[in-house]
Every structure is written in C-alpha cells, then in structure tokens.
C-alpha cells in the first residue's frame, strides 16, 4: 500500500464503508459490488470505486469485491487491526454512559483510565476502573503512552482539558462537549455534535 496524501474527506468515508462491510460479513455475505455498497450507504458507486482506488486495487472488474478482503484492507488502512487504549476525562453522567458503552468491545477500543477534578467523583468505581484525580492526569497519561482521549466535561472546562491532553501526548481527541476545541497541528479532533445529526433529518420533515 502506498502512503499517498489522501484527502481527509476520503478518509472520513472509510469507517462507514468498513462498518457496512462488517455488517455484511456478520450476515455471511462473501462478495459485494460498489453499487450494492453505495445503495446501503447512500453514496454513488463511482465515489466508492474512486475512494478505494486511492489505496490500491481491491476488486476485479465485473467480479466485485471480496467482503473479507476489503474488511481486512480497510482495518489495516484505518489502523484498527490492533487495539487502542483510551483515556476518558469527565466522570459525570456522560462519562459514566460512555465508560459503560457496549459498542467499543469488538472494535479494539478500550477505556483504560478515567479522570475528573470533582472530589465527589474521584475514587468512584465505574466498571473495573477507578476515577482518578485530574491533577495527576498529565503525568499518568504521558507515562502510559496512550494516544487517544475522550472529553466528556462541561463546555467551559473542555478547552483546558484538551490542552492538558495534548501536553500529555494525546494525538486524537473525541470531544463530546458543545464547543470547538483548538489544538496544535498534528492533533486530531472529532466533535460528536447531535445538532449536526438532527439537522440532517429535519431536512426531510415537512
């Protein structure tokens, strides 16, 4: 695989392709086409072929794609053919919900540390983890080598937490707080924003 400079918009579509292909795999489907994939995802077949062709030759003309092969390749491209430890910051309701989220299991993501600055929460158990004091976060995260963080603190605290995570060596942040974070180049942020999802649906409501 050649490491070209792939546009981020292409990268953004790959997890959706992988997710859909994994569902096919679970359903026992062995081959698929860009047309079928496109219909399921709501993207044109041409776009899918173009996106995948950025990474190599994955299908045979007229034969379609092997689902297993494509799943393997996409996992490799997205670096998810390994496991990732995650630090979660914010042990309120949302932090609890995410720490208990059942969806990470099969995808190689694992929350291994939880921090909060609230003395009432520090020391609490969430599943197997104990909420640790945010004052120790930079040192502990840096020592752990963890690269992925999640922020579930209130909006007004989120930027300061992001700054600390960056200081601790975190390179990817999933932000649930309703605020746009500023981070240095080379650090990646994704903002989980329910408004974006809701507006996408209200378009269709009379």
Binding site for a copy of itself (CB under 8 A): 7-9, 11-12, 14-16, 18-19, 23, 42-44, 47, 77-80, 84, 92-94, 96-98, 100-104, 107, 109, 147-148, 150, 152, 154-155, 171-172, 174, 178, 180, 188, 190, 192-205
Closest CB to a copy of itself among residues 44, 136: 44
* Min dist. Cβ of residue 17 to a copy of itself (A): 10
Closest CB to a copy of itself among residues 120, 205: 205
* Min dist. Cβ of residue 194 to a copy of itself (A): 6
Closest CB to a copy of itself among residues 69, 104: 104
* Min dist. Cβ of residue 63 to a copy of itself (A): 26
* Min dist. Cβ of residue 21 to a copy of itself (A): 12
* Min dist. Cβ of residue 6 to a copy of itself (A): 8
* Min dist. Cβ of residue 69 to a copy of itself (A): 18
Closest CB to a copy of itself among residues 60, 203: 203
Per-residue b or e along 151-180, where b marks 16 or more CB atoms closer than 10 Å to that residue's CB: bbbeeebbbebbebbbebbbebbbbbbebe
Closest CB to a copy of itself among residues 11, 143: 11
HEC letters along the chain: CCCCCCCHHHHHHHHHHHHHHHHHHHCCCCEECHHHHHHHHCCCHHHHHHHHHCCCCCEECCCEEEHHHHHHHHHHHCCCCCCEEEEEECCCHHHHHHHCCCCCHHHCEEEEEEEECCCCCCCCEECCEEEEEHHHHHHHHHHHCCCEEEECCCHHHHHHHHHHHHHCCCCEEEECCCCCCCCCCCCEEEECCHHHHHHHHHCCCC
Closest CB to a copy of itself among residues 39, 136: 39
């Amino acid at each position: 695989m050649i490491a070209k400079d792939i546009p981020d918009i292409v990268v953004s579509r790959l997890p959706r392709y992988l997710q859909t292909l994994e569902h096919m795999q679970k359903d026992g489907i062995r081959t698929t086409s860009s047309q079928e994939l496109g219909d399921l995802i709501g993207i044109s077949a041409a776009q899918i072929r173009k996106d995948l062709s950025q990474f190599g030759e994955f299908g045979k003309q007229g034969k379609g794609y092997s689902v297993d092969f494509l799943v393997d390749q996409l996992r490799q491209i997205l670096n998810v053919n390994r496991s990732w430890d995650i630090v979660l910051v914010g042990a309120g309701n949302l932090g609890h919900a995410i720490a208990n989220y059942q969806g990470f299991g099969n995808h190689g993501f694992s929350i291994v540390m939880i921090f909060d600055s609230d003395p009432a929460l520090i020391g609490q158990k969430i599943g197997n983890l104990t909420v640790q004091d945010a004052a120790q976060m930079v040192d502990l995260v840096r020592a752990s080598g963890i690269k992925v963080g999640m922020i579930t603190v209130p909006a007004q605290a989120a930027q300061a937490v992001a700054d600390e995570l960056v200081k601790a060596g975190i390179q990817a942040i999933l932000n649930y707080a309703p605020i746009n974070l500023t981070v240095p180049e080379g650090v990646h942020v994704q903002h989980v924003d329910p408004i974006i999802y809701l507006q996408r649906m209200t378009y269709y409501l009379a």
